[in-house]
C-alpha cells in the first residue's frame, strides 16, 4: 500500500476569501485534518461545507501526535496540517510532524497561502528584496534588548511578530538599540480593522504609547542597516548625515554625556556604525582646522 501524504495547508489570517481553491480541495479530500485548535478550524471547515474529521495538534501534544500521524501516513492515510491562521510551522506548531515524516521518507507537500509577516512586509513601504524574519522577540526587556543587539547589524529589513500589550515597550527598545530607523506596524491584517502605521521608530513609539493601548495581532517591520545607511561622504565633505550626526553629538554632550558616549548614542539613533560616525566627525574636525 502506498504511503499517505502530509499536506501542510495555509489558511486565511482573517479574511476567509483568501483561502485557495487547492486548500479547499485538499481539506475536503484528506482523511484527517490535524489542527492547532479544532474549534477554530471547525468554524472554517463548516463555512465551506467541509466534513472531514479533525484532531488536535498543538505544542502540548506535538510529540505524541507526530508519532500517531506518521503511523496513519505509513498506513496510507492522507493528513492535512493546519494552524489557527496562516501557514503552519511559521511560529506555529508543525515542525515536529513534518520533520518526522521526512525522516521516514513519507511525502510532505506544501499548500501555500497567507502568511502575516509577508503581507505586512509587502505593504510596509520598506525594502523587501532582502528580509530577516525573527519571529517573536523575548517578552522580558533585558532579553529583548539583547536579541535586538544581535540583529542590529543585519543589512536586510527586519520583521517581527509582537503581542499588542508589548508593542510599545518593543518599539522603545528597538529605538534605543537600532536607532531611529524607518518602520511600520501592521495589525489586524485582512480584517475589518486592518491598520498599517508607517513612520520612524520614535513616531511609532509615540503612536502606540502606553496611553493608547493597541489591539490585534501585530507585525513590526524595521529597515535594515543598508536601507538607512547614510551616504558615503568622502573626507572633508559635509553631507546631510554628517551634519545630523554632529548636531546630535553636540546635543548629547550638552545633556551631560562624555564625547565617547555621545558619539555611540548618536550613531545608534541615526542607524550608523560607530566607526563610520567617528570617521565623519574626524573628517569634519579636519575641515574646520584647515
One CATH from 3.40.1010.10, 2.130.10.10, 2.102.10.10, 3.40.50.2000 for 6-114: 3.40.1010.10
Rounded to two decimals, the pTM is 0.77
Question: What average pLDDT does this structure show over 19-26?
Answer: 98
Residue 282 has pLDDT above 90, yes or no: no
CATH number for the domain running over 117-222: 3.30.950.10
End-to-end CA distance of the chain: 85
Nearest-CA neighbor of 252 among 234, 238, 264?
264
The sign of the torsion formed by the CA atoms of 267, 272, 275, 281 equals: negative
Same fold, 6-114 and 117-222: no
Beta bridge partners of 81: 8, 34
Classify 59 as helix, strand or coil: coil
Q: Does residue 280 or residue 185 have the better pLDDT? A: 185
Domain extent listing, the chain: 6-114, 117-222, 240-288
Cβ(73)–Cβ(3) below 8 Å? yes
Q: Please tell me the predicted confidence (pLDDT) of residue 132.
A: 97
Question: Rounded mean pLDDT of 116-124?
Answer: 97
Local structure of 32: helix, strand or coil: strand
Cα pseudo-dihedral 91, 95, 96, 97, rounded to 10: 120
pLDDT surpassing 60 at residue 29: yes
- 241 vs 87, more confident: 87
Kind and range of the H or E element at 265? Answer: helix 259-269
244 and 187 Cβ atoms separated by less than 8 Å: no
Task: Identify the band that residue 228 occupies on the pLDDT scale cut at 50, 70 and 90.
Answer: low
Is pLDDT at 236 greater than 50 in this prediction? no
Confidence at 238, pLDDT banded by 50, 70, 90: very low
**pLDDT category of residue 211 using cuts at 50, 70 and 90:** confident
Q: In whole angstroms, what separates CA 272 from the centre of its chain? A: 23
pLDDT number for residue 284: 63
Q: What's the Rg (C-alpha) of the chain?
A: 24
Residue 152 near residue 178, CB atoms below 8 Å = yes
Q: Is 191 in contact with 165 (CB distance < 8 Å)?
A: no
| Pairwise CA distance, residues 45 & 193, whole Å | 24
Instruction: Report the pLDDT value the prediction gives residue 44, as an integer from 0 to 100.
Output: 96
Give the residue, 62 or 86, on which the prediction is more confident: 86
Amino acid at each position: 500500500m502506498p504511503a499517505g501524504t502530509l499536506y501542510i495547508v495555509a489558511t486565511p489570517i482573517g479574511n476567509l476569501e483568501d483561502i485557495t481553491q487547492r486548500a479547499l480541495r485538499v481539506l475536503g479530500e484528506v482523511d484527517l485534518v490535524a489542527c492547532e485548535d479544532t474549534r477554530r478550524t471547525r468554524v472554517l471547515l463548516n463555512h465551506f461545507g467541509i466534513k472531514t474529521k479533525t484532531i488536535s495538534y498543538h505544542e502540548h501534544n506535538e510529540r505524541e501526535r507526530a508519532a500517531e500521524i506518521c503511523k496513519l501516513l505509513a498506513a496510507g492515510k492522507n493528513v492535512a496540517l493546519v494552524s489557527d491562521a496562516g501557514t503552519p510551522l511559521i511560529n506555529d506548531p508543525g515542525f515536529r510532524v513534518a520533520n518526522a515524516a521526512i525522516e521516514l521518507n513519507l511525502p510532505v507537500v506544501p499548500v501555500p497561502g497567507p502568511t502575516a509577516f509577508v503581507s505586512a512586509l509587502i505593504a510596509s513601504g520598506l525594502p523587501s528584496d532582502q528580509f530577516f524574519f525573527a519571529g517573536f522577540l523575548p517578552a522580558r526587556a533585558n532579553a529583548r534588548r539583547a536579541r535586538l543587539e544581535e540583529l542590529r547589524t543585519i543589512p536586510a529589513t527586519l520583521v517581527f511578530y509582537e503581542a499588542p500589550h508589548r508593542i510599545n515597550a518593543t518599539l522603545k527598545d528597538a529605538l534605543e538599540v537600532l536607532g531611529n530607523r524607518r518602520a511600520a506596524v501592521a495589525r489586524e491584517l485582512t480584517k475589518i480593522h486592518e491598520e498599517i502605521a508607517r513612520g520612524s521608530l520614535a513616531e511609532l513609539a509615540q503612536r502606540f504609547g502606553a496611553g493608547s493601548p493597541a489591539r490585534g495581532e501585530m507585525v513590526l517591520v524595521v529597515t535594515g542597516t543598508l536601507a538607512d545607511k547614510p551616504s558615503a561622504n568622502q573626507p572633508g565633505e559635509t553631507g546631510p548625515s554628517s551634519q545630523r550626526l554632529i548636531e546630535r553629538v553636540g546635543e548629547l554632550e550638552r545633556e551631560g554625556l562624555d564625547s565617547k558616549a555621545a558619539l555611540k548614542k548618536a550613531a545608534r539613533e541615526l542607524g550608523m556604525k560607530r566607526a563610520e560616525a567617528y570617521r565623519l566627525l574626524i573628517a569634519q574636525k579636519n575641515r574646520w582646522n584647515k
